[in-house]
């Protein structure tokens, strides 16, 4: 409907010079009467009213369509980002993704809106105007079109340069956006280290680079309109000289001469639109290419043909030679790990920093993927479980807690929105957080700042723990989620959680060995390998690495306590 209305507008615009030709011819032949001139005026007015109506229709339809394209593409991009693996976000920065979702999609929207209009006008209005000019006088038309090939050649030359320049502009905008995001997210660190002026200077530099890239693009895009205008005026000059002679010699009528100039003026818009179209389509093409790079990124490998239809219920975990290396890393994070965790066991994963504790925890819900045949849950190879079913069966508490800018209640019930007030309260109590929530101004309805800035590190960790406890899953994974609380608080929390450990397998990764006393089984990782396993008493009796680490931690605690008292 939009394109049809646009074509009608172009057609009506082309009829106006024909009406003017008839009026001018009548005037030059002294055949004009008041009634005939009034009729010509009425025809022009009617054509103008038609142009108004159909121009509104095409603008509503075509621009409305471009907004729908924008919405659909943004939703598709966002939905695809949700499917990408963790490894993708390890190397992508948020500012760049934000630039894709804003500037790049806006460029595509302009190409599918105004770019489509410019393309139609260039093709249809330009061709039709030339057709009418040929009808009036072919020779004069060829003379008028002599400068036009230079416009086409110039457009072809700058379009390639413009494409590259615009890609550089978008990349510069991504860097600027990331710089702004990073500074706002880290404003507390910036203020704590009094780096406001230094960061403002860096942001200013990023802004200057963005402006410089834009000016480089403007130097190219800004050339087209003046050059088009120059060649169009050159055509008018040629028509004035040659067409004037033909009019004097009565080869064409005065009305034809006026109409020819009117069509030449109409033709100047498609020539200008050609530059605009190139500009918009090159921008849209560059931006769509950047978006397509993301859309072409493979999503997480989900279900295999032989997927299991039954739910995962027991929490039985078995590793058969688990080896894993992070993308871009030289050394494996896990190397040939064999272990078995029986349903219902409380298992500790301990070791020095970088031993592989977090890696093992992240492999269980397939946040990172591993080769087939290395990890089994409930006796089935992990890839055979549908990804959503697998993750629904695991309550995972990361060592890096993420808090949404929402209420305490919404944050706790994030994984289980249907949870009632009583369940949420019990989860908060089990996480040793209830008293602190009740002390807040609106208690569970208190709004938390971005990323939970109003909470301490320990409160964030306990809130995400409460979030996990709301999920009735057969497997609970706590990845060093008590690092921001003291040992006494951690032991108190684990004591509170004892009833939540019943009938579910619980894996607790921690660098603190004191909390492993009550674990059914402890795995000691070192440099990606499983070095020792057994319960606390067995490992202490062996007098190996676990015992050495335990004694060292106890000594450090005693020395710290003596220093604090002294």
**pLDDT tens-digit readout, 475-502:** 888 887 776 666 677 777 777 676 767 7
**pLDDT tens-digit readout, 420-457:** 888 888 888 887 888 888 888 888 888 886 666 667 77
Alpha carbons 333 and 355: distance in angstroms, whole number: 7
In terms of Cα–Cα distance, which of 392, 394, 370 is closest to 478? 394
Q: 564 falls in which pLDDT band (50, 70, 90)?
A: low
pLDDT of residue 457: 75
User: How far is residue 522 from each of residues 41, 44, 310, 508, measured CA to CA in Å?
Assistant: 95, 90, 30, 9
Task: Decide if 197 contacts 130 (C-beta within 8 A).
Answer: no
In terms of Cα–Cα distance, which of 171, 177, 174, 179 is closest to 198? 179
CB neighbour class for 152 (10 Å; exposed up to 12, middle 13-18, buried from 19): exposed
Task: Decide if 532 contacts 544 (C-beta within 8 A).
Answer: yes
pLDDT of residue 562: 65
Whether 253 has a pLDDT exceeding 60, the answer reads yes
Query: Which has the minimum average pLDDT: 165-179, 367-381, 417-431, 519-533?
Result: 165-179
pLDDT of residue 45: 93
Average pLDDT, integer, range 336-359? 88
**pLDDT tens-digit readout, 206-217:** 888 888 888 887
Q: Which domains, ranges and CATH numbers included, belong to the chain?
A: 2-295 (1.20.1560.10), 315-393+477-566 (3.40.50.300), 401-472 (3.40.50.300)
Q: In what order do the strands lie in the sheet with 394-397?
A: 394-397, 475-479, 505-509, 346-350, 521-526, 529-534
pLDDT of residue 421: 86
Q: Is the dihedral of CA 443, 444, 447, 453 positive or negative?
A: positive
pLDDT of residue 156: 67
Whether 354 has a pLDDT exceeding 90, the answer reads no
Whether 397 has a pLDDT exceeding 90, the answer reads no
Residue with tokens 């489509």: 116
Whether 181 has a pLDDT exceeding 70, the answer reads yes
Alpha carbons 144 and 146: distance in angstroms, whole number: 6
**pLDDT tens-digit readout, 66-93:** 888 888 988 888 888 888 887 777 777 7
Which comes out higher in pLDDT, residue 140 or 271?
140
User: How far is residue 374 from each of residues 184, 322, 362, 381, 463, measured CA to CA in Å?
Assistant: 42, 5, 14, 8, 33
Q: 56 falls in which pLDDT band (50, 70, 90)?
A: very high
Alpha carbons 278 and 238: distance in angstroms, whole number: 27
pLDDT of residue 486: 67
**pLDDT tens-digit readout, 504-563:** 888 888 887 877 888 889 999 988 898 988 988 888 888 888 888 888 877 876 676 666
Task: Report angle CA 331, 337, 341 to the nearest 5 degrees.
Answer: 145
Q: 52 falls in which pLDDT band (50, 70, 90)?
A: very high
Query: Which has the minimum average pLDDT: 71-80, 281-290, 363-372?
Result: 281-290
Whether 303 has a pLDDT exceeding 80, the answer reads no
- What single DSSP character describes residue 475? E
Average predicted confidence (pLDDT) for the chain? 82
Q: 305 falls in which pLDDT band (50, 70, 90)?
A: low
Average pLDDT, integer, range 298-314? 72
pLDDT of residue 272: 67
């Amino acid at each position: 409907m939009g394109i049809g209305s646009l074509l009608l507008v172009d057609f009506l615009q082309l009829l106006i010079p024909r009406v003017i030709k008839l009026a001018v011819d009548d005037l030059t032949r002294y055949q004009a009467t008041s009634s005939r001139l009034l009729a010509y005026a009425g025809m022009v007015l009617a054509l103008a009213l038609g142009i108004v109506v159909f121009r509104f229709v095409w603008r509503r339809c075509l621009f409305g369509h471009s907004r729908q394209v924008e919405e659909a593409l943004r939703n598709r991009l966002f939905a695809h980002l949700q499917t990408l693996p963790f490894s993708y976000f390890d190397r992508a920065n948020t500012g760049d993704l934000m630039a894709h979702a804003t500037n790049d999609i806006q460029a595509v929207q302009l190409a599918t809106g105004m770019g489509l209009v410019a393309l139609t006008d260039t093709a249809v209005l330009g061709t039709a105007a030339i057709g009418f000019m040929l009808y009036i006088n072919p020779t004069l038309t060829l003379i008028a079109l002599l400068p036009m090939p230079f416009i086409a050649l110039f457009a072809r030359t700058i379009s390639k340069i413009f494409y590259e320049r615009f890609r550089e502009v978008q990349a510069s905008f991504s860097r600027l956006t990331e710089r702004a995001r990073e500074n706002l997210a880290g404003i507390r660190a910036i203020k704590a280290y009094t780096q406001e002026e230094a960061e403002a200077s860096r942001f200013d530099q990023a802004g200057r680079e963005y402006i410089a890239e834009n000016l480089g693009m403007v130097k190219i895009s800004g050339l087209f309109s003046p050059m088009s205008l120059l060649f169009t005026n050159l055509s008018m000059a040629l028509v004035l000289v040659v067409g004037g002679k033909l009019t004097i010699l009565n080869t064409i009528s005065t009305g034809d001469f006026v109409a020819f100039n009117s069509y030449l003026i109409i033709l100047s818009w498609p020539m200008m639109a050609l530059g605009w179209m190139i500009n918009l389509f090159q921008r849209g093409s560059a931006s769509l290419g950047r978006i397509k790079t993301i859309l072409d990124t493979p999503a997480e490998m989900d279900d295999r043909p032989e997927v299991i239809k039954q739910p995962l219920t027991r929490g039985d975990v078995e590793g058969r030679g688990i080896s894993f290396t992070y993308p871009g890393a030289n050394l494996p994070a896990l190397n040939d790990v064999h272990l078995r965790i029986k349903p219902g066991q409380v298992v500790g994963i301990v070791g020095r920093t970088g031993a592989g504790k977090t890696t093992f925890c992240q492999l269980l819900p397939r946040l990172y993927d591993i080769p087939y045949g290395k990890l089994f849950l409930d006796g089935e190879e992990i890839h055979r479980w549908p990804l959503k079913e697998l993750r629904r069966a695991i309550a995972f508490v990361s060592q890096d807690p993420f808090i949404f800018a929402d209420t305490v209640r919404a944050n706790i019930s994030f994984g289980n929105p249907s949870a009632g007030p009583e369940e949420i309260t019990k989860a908060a109590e089990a996480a040793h957080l209830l008293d602190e929530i009740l002390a807040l101004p609106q208690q569970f309805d208190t709004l938390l700042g971005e990323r939970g800035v109003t909470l301490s590190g320990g409160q964030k960790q306990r809130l995400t723990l409460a979030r996990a406890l709301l999920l009735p899953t057969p497997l609970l994974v706590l990845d060093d989620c008590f690092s921001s609380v003291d040992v006494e608080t951690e032991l108190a929390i684990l004591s509170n959680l004892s009833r939540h450990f019943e009938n579910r397998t619980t894996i607790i990764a921690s660098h603190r060995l004191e909390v492993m006393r009550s674990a059914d089984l402890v795995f000691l990782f070192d440099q990606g390998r499983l070095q020792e396993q057994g319960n606390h008493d067995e490992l202490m009796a062996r007098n190996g690495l676990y015992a050495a680490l335990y004694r060292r931690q106890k000594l450090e605690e005693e020395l710290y306590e003596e220093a604090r008292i002294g």
